Amino acid sequence: MRAVVQRVSSAAVTTDGAMIGQISQGLLILLGVAKGDTTEDGIWLAQKIANLRIFPDDSEKLNFSVLDHHGEVMVVSQFTLIASTRKGTRPSFNEAAPPELANPLYEAFCRQMQELSGRPVTTGKFGAHMTVQLENDGPVTLVIDSMLRE
């Protein structure tokens, strides 16, 4: 699994002209599921993200996690994160997990994030065309890959 984690002041996701979710201060997580990913990858990734110290303390040092900060979490599926651009200019999505494998892993990741945070997790709509609006705070943006464990 690969995640783009953004610290946000706010974020919203819309599909079919309707807003289906929004959060205030917290994390927007774009999540891609690759072939070969497992539930254990999702557990590792959720724990890593939930405990990342990317929120500032009173001295402006990044010492607090989203859990410490009591921030909100939004997770949006994004298979394009698994793209390969090695050859040519058209991305290859061959390593992205097919929907019947990716969706259960995406949902399990969302449940894990909810369990860790003790708060509802806002989500996009798996497989849908979505518009995501965000106000990146910092900006703070990290890419984390469960295969690399970094």
Residue 150 has pLDDT above 90, yes or no: no
Digit-coded pLDDT (tens) for 61-111: 999 999 999 999 999 999 999 999 999 999 999 999 999 999 999 999 999
Active site residues: 78-80
**Cα separations in angstroms, 106 against 59, 79, 102:** 36, 11, 6
Helix, strand or coil, per DSSP, at residue 80? helix
20: domain CATH number is: 3.50.80.10
Terminal-to-terminal C-alpha distance of the chain:
11
Total domain count, the chain: 1
The DSSP output letter for 25 is S
In a domain, 136, yes or no: yes
In a domain, 72, yes or no: yes
Q: Domain range spanning residue 80?
A: 2-145
**Cα separations in angstroms, 119 against 71, 72, 84, 111, 115:** 9, 8, 34, 10, 7
In a domain, 150, yes or no: no
Residue 147 has pLDDT above 90, yes or no: no
